[in-house]
A and B are shown apart, each in its own frame.
Chain A
C-alpha cells in the first residue's frame, strides 16, 4: 500500500462540523482526492487538491499540505445524509485509497 492513514470512525451531531484527517507518503505524489461512499454504492468525487491550501465547495472544504503529507476534509452544517464513508486517495501513477472514515451523523 501507500501508507495512507485516516481515522476509522467519527460521530457528530446534525448541524455540527467534522474534520477528517488523512496522512500519506509524499514520494511521487501528484494530488489528493476525497471521495464519499454510501454503503454498497460506488464512491463519488468530492474534491481534488494539487496545491497547498484550502479549497471550498459549499459545505465541504479540503486542505492540503504537500510538504507534510497531510490533508483534511471539513464537513460543515452536517446533515443526516452526510452519514457515509469518506475516502482519501493518493494520486501518483496509480490511485491508492485509505481505508476510509465512517462518519455517523446523529440528530
Chain B
C-alpha cells in the first residue's frame, strides 16, 4: 500500500529541546516536502526536496532543517524549538514535480512547544 508515514503523530516538547519529525515514503518518489498548517494560513511549505541530496527552502524555512540522504526519508529537524513552531505538520511526496502527479500526504504531526 502506498504510504507516507510520519512520526511522531503527537508531541509536546519544551522550548529549546531539539526534536526530529521523521517522514518515510514507500513509493520511490523523487519529490518530498514539509508543510505546516496554522489556522487561517493554510498549508505553508517549509522545505522541499527534488531528489537525494537536493533540498531547498520553501516559504517558511526559519527555525527548521531537513536532510535527504536516502530517497525514502525526509526528516524535519527543529534544532531549538520555540512556541511559534506549535503547529500541525504534514509531509508529502510525489513521483515528480511539474507534472500531473498525485501528491501523497502523511497523516500529520501535531507539535506543541511549551
Contacts and interface: CB of A to CB of B under 8 A. Distances in A.
Given A50-B100, A93-B98, A97-B35, A42 B42 contact: no
Interface in B32-75: 33, 35, 40-45, 48, 50, 56, 58-59
Chain A interface mostly: loop
A51 to B, nearest CB: 10
A40 interface: yes
Interface residues of A, number: 24
Nearest to B38: A99
A78 B41 CA distance: 25
A106 B112 CA distance: 33
Given A41-B108, A97-B35, A87 B42 contact: yes
Interface string A90-103: 01111111111000
A91 B88 CA distance: 22
A99 B90 contact: no
B30 interface: no
A1 interface: yes
B59 A42 contact: no
Given A30-B98, A93-B98, A94-B45, A99 B40 contact: yes
B33 A94 contact: yes
B109 to A, nearest CB: 11
Pairs of residues from A and B, 10 with the lowest C-beta to C-beta distance, nearest first: A99-B42, A42-B105, A97-B43, A100-B42, A97-B42, A30-B98, A94-B48, A93-B97, A1-B59, A48-B100
